Structures are given as C-alpha cells and as structure tokens.
Chain A
Amino acid sequence: MKKLDSYPIDGKFGKYGGRFVPEVLMAAIGELEEAYAKVKQDPEFNKELKYYLSEYAGRPTPLYYAENLTKKIGGAKIYLKREDLAHGGAHKINNTLGQALLAKKMGKKRVIAETGAGQHGVATAIACAALGLKAEVYMGSEDMRRQRLNVFRMKLLGAEVHPVDSGSKTLKDSINEAFRDWVTNIESTYYLIGSVVGPHPYPMLVRDFQSVIGNELKEQFRQKEKRFPDALVACVGGGSNAIGTFYPFEDHPEVQLYGVEAAGEGIESNKHAAALGAGSEGVFHGMLTYVLQDTEGQIQTTHSISAGLDYPGVGPEHSFLKTLQRAKYFSATDTETVEAFCALSKEEGIVPALESSHAIAFARKLARKMKREETIVVTLSGRGDKDVEVVADFLGVKI
C-alpha cells in the first residue's frame, strides 16, 4: 500500500472521492486542477499565502495546555490547538485565504460560497475583502435564522448573502444552490467550497490548505513534549479541520486519530448528522463517500445543535481513513456537546464553538481512560460567541 499522504491518486482516496458532476463543470474543474497544481509548486504563491496567514490571519495559532481541564478529569494531558484565535474566529480562514488567492491567480473576479453556521461565509467574505474579490454567499434560510449574527457580519464585510429556501434550508441545500450558480456563471466565477467535500480536486486542495493546522501543532508539540501526541481529536461535519489536523500524522500510526460527528438527539433517534457512524456509501455533491440516505438513495435531512456539522455527507478522505481503520469515528449528542461547551468556558475561560464542543465532549471521555503521562491534542476549530444564544435557548435560559 502506498503511503497515506500520497492520496488522492487519480482523484480518489481508495474508491472514495471522484468527480460526479454535471458535464458542464468538467472543464472548469479541470482548469481548477491545473491551476492548483501550478500554484502548489510556485514559491511566489506560497510566500504570499504565508504572508497572509501570518500577518493577516494571525498564524501560527497557539497550542495551549489546558491544565485546569486536565486536572479536573485526572487523565491524559489535554492540549488545545487554538484555531478559535485565528482571524474570523475559526480555522475556515486557512482555506478561504488559500482558495481566494488561487481564484485571483486564475483571473476570477467573482467568488461564490456556501455556508452552514456562517463561519465559512464569514471567512470567505474576509478573504475576498482582503484580496479585492466580490463574494456572494448561499445560506439556508433556516441557518440564517439560527445564525443571524453571522449574516450581518458577512454583510458588514461586503458580501452578498443569498437565502436558500429549497430542501431542508440548511448546508446541503446551500451547496446545491452554489453548484447551480456555478454551472450558470462558470466563466466568471470561482466556487470556494468550505470543506474537504465536493468533486476532486476540492477535497485535496482544501485539505492541503488546512494542513497548516497539523503541521504547526506537530512542531509546537515537539517543542513542548519532545515527541508526538498520543491522540488527536477533532470534530467532523464535512471534516476540514479534522483532515487538516490528521493529514500530517496519517503515516505515523502511533498517533491515534479520532473524529467526532454530531449525534444530535442520539443516533437511534434518527435526528443526527453522523454520516460515518450511521450512514452508507453513496454519491452526493460530486463525491463517492459515506452519506445519510434512505433505502432509495434519497439524501436525508440531518439534525445537530451546531449548524456547521449539520451535513449528511462527509469528506471522502474520512471515508477512506474509516475503511482503513486509520482513524476512528465517534459522535457526541447535543446534550453532551452543550455540557462540554459550558465546561470549557468555565474551566479554561475559553468559549468553544458548538462544532468544536463535540470534540471536547469526546476528549473528556477519552482522557479519563488514558494515563496521566499520555497526551491528547484537541483541535478547537472555532470560538463560540456565535453560539451563545443557541446554548442559552437549549438550557432554557432567557437572555
């Protein structure tokens, strides 16, 4: 078997991935693949990206030893990779700066994006404002209601926000709508997808841009502990912060990789978003991957307290890692997630995004089972200011 970090091969992670898109997009996707292959080798492009990531987005983000949380649990040492401190408040900026720079090199003036929680929409709006591109963001009307603050933020940042009223009015439908826009405006428009999903080369290029997370933490951890961490934990919706964390460690089997999906009201309730945990293989949004679907192949609507994980599919590289058992996937319920949200806020003074709180919830359980000299790094993919209202509502608190 080839080294894991050499995938995708011919656009596929094992059998997963590929390009299941309308013919009209094939030329544009080919053009994107070529353009990306070129910039990947280009020292100028990489220098420019590095400049924006450090000077503008505030990288590297700290690797923080969560001593209070660790002591409270009394198990493995827990470190937090603080993506919540990146500009915009989430890891999303790593990808949007990379892709917006790529769009600029390709001569595209208009950028479209989909968003669930609004974090990718905000990060797209930020990157486009910085680089002088026009951003238009598709967002499900249900998500717009849940994340009003982010809608206004995007508008402040100069982006246009298009409400999506079709289907479940959430992330999957906003991706459908972004695809429809793209097939219509293919010559002028760059589709800046927000996760490691979609047709090849998106899962690969988004992973590459997000790998800054894992690469940084590898070096930071080595300086602090003089070795590799025993376990990495990250939440998985589409799975970009998880892949960004895992990828540099895929060929180091001594490092355990754990992805945490949204179990919503519980897997047995059928109101969840755990594609890897409870889904089956299907073809959706341009890729062969695990997906939540019925027996006829209709894609199911999902539920999670966090809009950012409310997605019925998952990046094809995760399907691959699951099949190989290189990574293990668990899930956290809404209730466990809100508990973790509150615990981290209280114990460490860090309010995590609800998405990231899934990873915290699992890490709390995992740490308990591990030895004190062992270590866990949790990727704290975003900050939770946007979620305060949702959490208050969940707890029945009036604010």
Chain B
Amino acid sequence: MSDITKVFQKLKSKGEGALVGYVTGGDPKPEFTTRIAEALVKGGVDILELGIPFSDPIADGPTIQSASVHALEAGTTPQMVLGLAGEVKNKHGVPVVILTYFNPVFRMGVERFFRLAKSFGVDGVVVPDLPVEEAEAYCEAAKSYGVDTIFLATPSTSNERLCKILGCTSGFLYVVSHFGVTGAREALEESTVQLIQRFVPDTSGRIPLAVGFGVSKPEHAKSIIEAGADGVIVGSTFVNIVRKHEGDVEKMLEELGALARELKEAIKSVGKTE
C-alpha cells in the first residue's frame, strides 16, 4: 500500500478530509521551498504537492504562471524539485506528490524520471497535459518503481471515460472542480458538488477522490468534503501568499501556516458529524 493510500485511509477512519497543499517548487527561490513546505505541513497539510516549473503551463492561471516564471528565473530545474521533494519527505514524513507538465519528463526520459523520483522518495506524480491515451509507457515506468500515477477527471469527463481513467489511476483521483484553469476563486459552484456526486459511485471503496482548481477558502473545502470527496487540493491561494510576502519570509510562513490550519480545521470533523 502506498503512503498516499495510507494517509487517506487513516484520515477516513478518523472522519477527516485530507488537505493536499500545492506550491511551485523553487518559487520564489529554491532555498525557500523546504521552509514553505514545513509551514504548510505544520499548519495541517496532509500531502504536499510540489510543482516543477514549466515555461508554458497551459492549464494554469496567472498565479501559478507567475510562480513558474519566478522559479525558472531563480534557476530551478526538474532535478532540483525532485531533490526538494525528497528533503520534505525525509524531514516530515508526509507523502509528496510532484506536479509537472509532460515535456520535462519526456526530455529527461520517462524511465529515468521515475527512477530519480523514486530515489528521492516521491510518492505520486500528476501530469496535467498527459491524458490516459498517451500514458502507456509512463504508467508502466511508474508502476515498476512503485510511484502512484494520479490522473485528472473533469466536468467534461463522462462516467464511461472515468472508468478508463480509474484503470490507470493510483493514489487518488484528482477531480478538477470546474471548466477553466487553476486560480483562487471567491465561490464554489453548485456544479462542483454535483460533479463529486456523479463521480463518487465509481470511486467509492476503490480510490480516494480529491478536488482541486479554484478551492481557496475553508468553506469551499468543507462543502467539498460534505459532498463526498475524500480530500481537497489547494494551490493558488498558497502561491498568492508566497508572492505577496516574497520580501518578508517570516510573514509568508506565518500566513501559509495559518491558512493551512484554517483549511484543515474546516474539514476535520465533517465526516464525523454525518
């Protein structure tokens, strides 16, 4: 059983939703990443997702685009992010997921990428521009190194297609809450709740389901878990804090920790009260 699966199981038994926290590796500089991760984990993040910055992030909104630019300007490379993931894993013991566009993986070589990821202790990988149809060699390599392959399902994914996606997915299913790119949003759409309810019968008892894209507030997180999801993925709001307090690290870490705490608090008792 993978570390990701174990965390979801443990939280489920306690009636808690899982908090997956995303930041872009190397933003604003590589030396910040482990401290940012520590603040998030201490605040309550159960699984840390680290992004490998990419020059052309087509699934991301302005917040993460800008984080990628900062990280790349600071000289961040895919190998560095894998190394940083390893440090976080060693120090805090939380599962670490890598998010990357496909080209850096392709360039490194799919097999080599997973070999390296495994050697650093990476638990899972998400590739937003790799649909299951193109993922055969990728899945084989991941499987042989025991790294989870987290695929995405979206509002335009039919249930028939979902079954195909679940056939390739391990760790958890990453549900994209709405049509669009990543980025913090003010409100949660009613359609997101319906989407979770449409997917849950296919995932229940099979694989955890976590919802991301636009999730930024404790009340969003709560509604998502109440709708039947096992976890929430929060990214752009954390990245916004990093950007806002780039010049004042202590303030940045304090706010990151505080937001993680609020989010975690909101999804702690949801399962139990039902």
The chain A residues found within 8 Å of chain B, CB to CB, are 18-28, 166-167, 172-173, 176, 179-180, 183-187, 281-286, 288, 291, 293, 295-300
Contact = CB atoms under 8 A, between A and B. Distances in A.
Interface centre among A27, A167, A297, A299 (most CB of B within 10 A): A297
A167 B60 CA distance: 13
Contacts of A299: 55-56, 103
A28 B56 CA distance: 21
Contacts of B54: 297-298
B74 to A, nearest CB: 13
A99 to B, nearest CB: 20
Given A183-B179, A184-B179, A298-B54, A23 B151 contact: yes
Contacts of A23: 128, 131, 151-154, 156-157, 165, 176
Given A20-B131, A24-B179, A26-B161, A296 B58 contact: no
Given A22-B128, A23-B165, A186-B179, A179 B58 contact: yes
Contacts of A288: 106
Interface residue tally on B, bucketed by range: 35 or more
Interface centre among B57, B58, B128 (most CB of A within 10 A): B58
B103 A26 contact: no
Given A20-B130, A23-B131, A27-B158, 15 more contacts: A20-B131, A20-B134, A22-B154, A23-B165, A23-B176, A24-B156, A176-B56, A176-B58, A179-B58, A185-B179, A186-B179, A187-B179, A291-B103, A298-B104, A300-B55
B133 interface: yes
B231 interface: no
Nearest to A177: B58
Contacts of B111: none
Contacts of A21: 129, 131
A283 B103 contact: yes
B72 A297 contact: no
Contacts of B180: 180, 183-184
B272 interface: no
B102 interface: yes
Contacts of B152: 22-24
B146 interface: no
Contacts of B106: 281-283, 288, 297
Given A180-B58, A180-B61, A283-B106, A20 B179 contact: no
B107 interface: yes
A366 B54 CA distance: 40
Contacts of A27: 156-158, 161
Contacts of B156: 23-28, 186
Interface in B128-174: 128-131, 133-134, 151-158, 161, 165
14 contacts: A22-B58, A22-B59, A26-B131, A26-B156, A26-B161, A167-B56, A184-B179, A184-B180, A281-B106, A282-B107, A284-B103, A296-B107, A297-B104, A299-B56
B108 interface: yes
A284 B54 CA distance: 11
A317 to B, nearest CB: 18
A180 B153 CA distance: 17
Interface string B16-57: 000000000000000000000000000000000000001111
Given A20-B102, A299-B55, A184 B181 contact: yes
Contacts of A297: 54, 78, 103-108
B240 interface: no
Contacts of B179: 24, 183-187
Contacts of A293: 103, 107
Contact of B131 (A19, A187, A281): A19
Contact of A296 (B77, B153, B161, B181): B77
Nearest to A30: B161
B43 to A, nearest CB: 29
B176 A24 contact: yes
B231 to A, nearest CB: 18
A158 B128 CA distance: 35
B237 interface: no
A284 B56 CA distance: 8
A103 to B, nearest CB: 18
